[in-house]
Structure 1
Amino acid sequence: MELHLVIEGTRGLAEQIHRQLRDAIRSGRLAAGQQLPPSRLLAEQLGVSRKTVAQAYSKLTFDRLIVTQVGAGTFVASRLPPQSHPLAQEDLAGSAVTRLWQGMETPLRHPLPEARVRYEFIAGASSRRLFPEAEWRQCSLHGLRRSALHRGYYAEPEGLLELREAVSRHIGFSRGVNCRPEDLVITSGAQQALDLIARVLIEPGCIVAMEEPGYPLARMLLEAQGAQVVPVPVDAEGICVDRIPDGARLIYTTPTHQFPLGMPMSAARRHALLDRAHELGAIVVEDDYDSEFRYTTQAFEPLLTLDRRGLVAYIGTFSKSLSPELRLGYAIAPPALRTALVNAKHLCDWHTPTVLQWALARFVADGNLLKHIRRCHDVFSERRNRLLARLSGDLSPWLEPLPAIAGYHMAVRFRRPVPVLQLCQLARRVEVGLYLLNACYRHPPQDDGLLVGFGAIEAEDIDPALDRVRGILEQLSG
């Protein structure tokens, strides 16, 4: 017999034959018990190798659509397996939960390469050219060599001792944090560190206090764990401690560089926060995501250093200081949480990839991280100064920067009413990426602003980009 099969191109030939025979059997064009041509004959008819047809037949046999009878040939199975139809969402027992996750917004997500514009003012991203390729390559090779000595076994959940020792020395010097290697848990970014802390503290319905505005991914993560997240306003000194609700089990804060507004928490407010946490029996999560890039001599002691009662869980990341793609972070757990946090890490993903851990340990120990931070600091400082000069100059009729002493983003308020969505849409048409502050609020205010990152845009591109923004603002002002 001859089968009507169509071969297109020279790729995936076995898959093409398998798919067309499968559809013919399922549709009834090839009836149950009907004999198929020998593989050699079908190969000659289609102009392909016999091996290609044999692969297609083998897959059909695995699918239980055909059977081979020794000495007789290959036949369509007399009893076909039932076709599987994926359940529709409404048929799932957990459809209500699935709908919540499907409808969840994803603020601050970085655009895909094809969607990026020429001038990106997105927060949390840094220039590709700043990454220390040569040094990291050497450290990665070291990581591969060290990993080969331990291959075949899982590593310790809390992270490699060599990396924990290197991190404890680094943050002691650069951030003024005093900790021992045994206090550290290496995580896949600060986001996982927060996730682990939430796992061991939060039950559905429990109260969590969080800065308003604040880091939206932290709020969404805590809510996904079942917490009742209560937004607590911030002022010029940081989180308003007297507004932290009774019954709060966890307090999330960014004291060194408030996200997204930028102000540091005052010393008095830090002590008041620790006293309030002690009164509640709450854990304070201190998210110190980018304090290594400071632009003033003003310095504040980390909450962790002030803590004498074991109330502070300190989390940090290498996403800002090195690269977000590495997904490397850490948590310093208070004594009451340490064992629980390690167990949660073990159950979550066992451990962070060891090759990356070995590489980062060598990178930090060799002094490359501090050199890289100093180099980036000079670059970011130049960009920040250029941005502030324009915001206090010809853009000042419309825009007002909020003071920020660290990091590589700043918040900008509008001095006069501006249709912000239209501004962002028009800016994107002229290759400028602008991003709104309202994503950082649980209850967005009427007077919206911009979250302006200057890590990803080159210094020489800031003026041309802001010239285009000024032109749009003039146009919108009419």
Structure 2
Amino acid sequence: MDLHVSLVGRRDLAGQIYRQLRAAILDGRLRVGEALPPTRELARRLEISRNTVAVAYDRLIAEGFLRGRVGAGTFVQEAGPVPRGAPEASPLRPRAIWDEVSVWPTWTPGVRWDFRAGLPDVRLFPYESWRRIMAGRLRPSALDDAAAAGDPAGLPDLRRAIARHVGVSRSVRASADDVVVTSGIQQALDLIVRVLLEPGDVVAVEDPGYPPARLLFQAAGMRVRGVPVDAEGLRVDALPDGTRAVYVTPSHQFPLGMPMSLPRRRELLDWARRRDVVVVEDDYDTEYRYGGRPIEPLQSIDEDGRVLYLGTFSKIMRPVLRLGFLVAPPSLHRAFRIARYVSSWHAELPSQAALARFIDDGLLAQHIRRSRREYQARHERVAELVGDWPGLTLVPSAAGLHLSATLPDGTDDAALVRRALAEGVGLFALSEFAVDGPSVLGLVFGYGAVARPEIDVGLARLCDIVAGLG
């Protein structure tokens, strides 16, 4: 271990070393069996006599805290319970906003059939291919000098690969210079707040909508306003005056699932142009589309350069792979690079290099094709089963990793979800996603994390619960 001892004054040096080492042993910072630095090394580090360190060690050995082994060193023999925490009586207090913001969703143990939205099936991921590429990137010959590795926007190879990928798969207009690599959608939103918004600005979000985005805007001091959605997506006529930014999921509205119609998209872009508003487009899972005409992203039909396009790889690869991206117009390149630098410099570089290779070798496209077939089968099975349940109305959707269904007014969908959890079925209630207006009541069925044979069993259990509340 690396031990640091701070000495105050030059009196009773052996006593100071003794007391600090004893305290570290008693509160668990030094654990049983841990080696202490040799007396010569610690004396050199502290610029004191070796005999002074030896006196402190001998006293601790005599009291049973340490033991010495000839030729091996000095080791902790007896330790306290656990390391002490920070002082509880600190005068420091968080800003009031942190009393209002909570983590979403909360982790729930005991789930056997996990129908929560947003979870992919990690069993479909080509681990051997990824492991081989990662191992290659971790060889010493492949590791760049850390001082030269840090373009805040991300590794150039990955930015070029992302630009090609979204250009082919989603018709996004982007060069490598337009791409900023992030640790996911949340960091991309955080960068947008830093670069473009001021505390007190009005940010419009879909209602119902994605809770983590709303929570981030609130924590940053924005005034968040929910805007209702209908069968064509966000209602542009309901956007509030004074809006500075609009956050939308137009290709697969979260959580309801319908796409924003082309006329509504054009209406939103025209509204944003006339009022000088930034549009934040979260295209979180539409690599998985199961039919119908491909939905053009807002960014691809934006002629004014006011749409910021966000994407993530956690939905199509693995949630623990925290890599996403932001596509921004040239006028914002420098600001986003600097904002990325001052917040966290850059993402983990071997993973960036591995992902670039994974994309360039065609492995990402291959994985999407294979997993799309599996997810489509699950999508169709969930729609078939849930579509027959009395009282539920499926929201039409042909993309992503979840389906939603509405319930009649007056239904307690949150109570239904609690009952389901007690039976080992995890899922979300639509009322969880409400922002300002009255809640849309219903259920969200994620099928990414549930194997096909388990879908029937889990939904049968849930169907009995829904029928019992009818």
Q: Shorter-chain TM-score category?
A: 0.7 to 0.9
Contact 1:143 1:357 in 2 (8 A): no
Instruction: Mark the runs of 5 or more structure 2 residues left unpaired by the alignment.
Output: 1-24, 35-54
- Pairwise CA distance, 1:421: 3.2
1:216 aligned partner = 211
> What is the CA-CA distance between 1:110 and the residue it aligns to?
4.9
User: Pick from 290, 295, 310: which aligns with 2:290?
Assistant: 295
Q: Secondary structure at the match of 1:337?
A: helix
Q: Which is further off, 238-247 or 184-193?
A: 238-247
Mapping of residues 377-388 of structure 1, within 5 Å:
377-388=372-383
How many correspondences in the alignment?
418
Is 2:357 aligned against 1:357?
A: no
Task: For 2:452, give the aligned amino acid.
Answer: A
Give the corresponding residue for 1:426: 419
- The match for 2:465 is 472
1:180-195 equivalences under 5 Å are: 180-195=175-190
Question: Quick one: distance in 1 between partners of 2:304 and 2:66?
Answer: 75
Given that residues 57 and 66 in structure 2 are in contact (C-alpha distance below 8 angstroms), is that contact kept between their aligned partners in structure 1? no
Q: Provide the rounded CA distance (Å) in 2 between the counterparts of 1:143 and 1:176.
A: 30
Query: Is 1:50 matched up with 2:43?
Result: no
Matches within 5 A, 1:34-433: 43=61, 46=64, 49-50=67-68, 86=87, 88=89, 91-92=91-92, 95=93, 97=95, 99-111=96-108, 115-145=109-139, 147-393=142-388, 396-415=389-408, 417-433=410-426
Partner Cα separation in structure 2 for residue 104 and residue 416 of structure 1: 28
- TM-score, structure 1 normalization: 0.81
Distance 1:228 1:116, change over 3 A: same
Q: Quote the offset at 1:140 in angstroms.
A: 0.6
RMSD: 3.0
Alpha-carbon distance in 2 for matches of 1:42, 1:319: 51
Cross-structure match for 1:448: 441
**Counterpart amino acid of 1:335?**
P
**Aligned mates of 2:341, 2:362 — CA distance in 1:** 30
- For residues 236 and 59 of structure 2, the distance between their equivalents in structure 1, rounded to whole angstroms, comes to 82
Q: Alignment partner of 1:452: what SS?
A: strand
1:353-397 CA-partner distances (Å, limit 9, x unpaired): 11011000000000000110011111111111111111122xx21
Distance 1:384 1:457 in 2: 11
Is the 8 Å Cα contact of residues 110 and 122 (structure 1) preserved in structure 2? no
Q: Secondary structure at the match of 2:134?
A: helix
| C-alpha deviation, 1:45, in angstroms | 6.9
Deviations 1:147-196 (A, max 9, x none): 42434434101111111111111111111112111111111112111110
The aligned residue for residue 438 of structure 1 is 431
Instruction: Give the direction of change, closer, same or farther, for the CA distance of 1:277–1:468 in structure 2 (3 Å limit).
Output: same
In 2, are the aligned partners of 1:40 and 1:50 still within 8 Å (CA)?
A: no
**Hey, what's the Cα distance between the residues in 2 that align with 1:156 and 1:317?**
20
Percent identity of the aligned residues? 40
CA deviation string 1:236-295 (max 9, x = no partner): 111111222222111111111111111111111111111111111111111111111011
Q: Please tell me the residue identity of whatever aligns with 2:137.
A: G
> What is the aligned partner in structure 1 of residue 19 from structure 2?
none
Larger Rg: 1
Change (3 A) 1:220 1:85: closer
Normalising by structure 2, what TM-score? 0.82
Q: 1:279 to 1:135 in 2, by over 3 A?
A: same
Name the SS for the 1:142 alignment partner.
helix
Alpha-carbon distance between aligned partners in 1 of 2:362 and 2:248, rounded to the nearest angstrom = 30
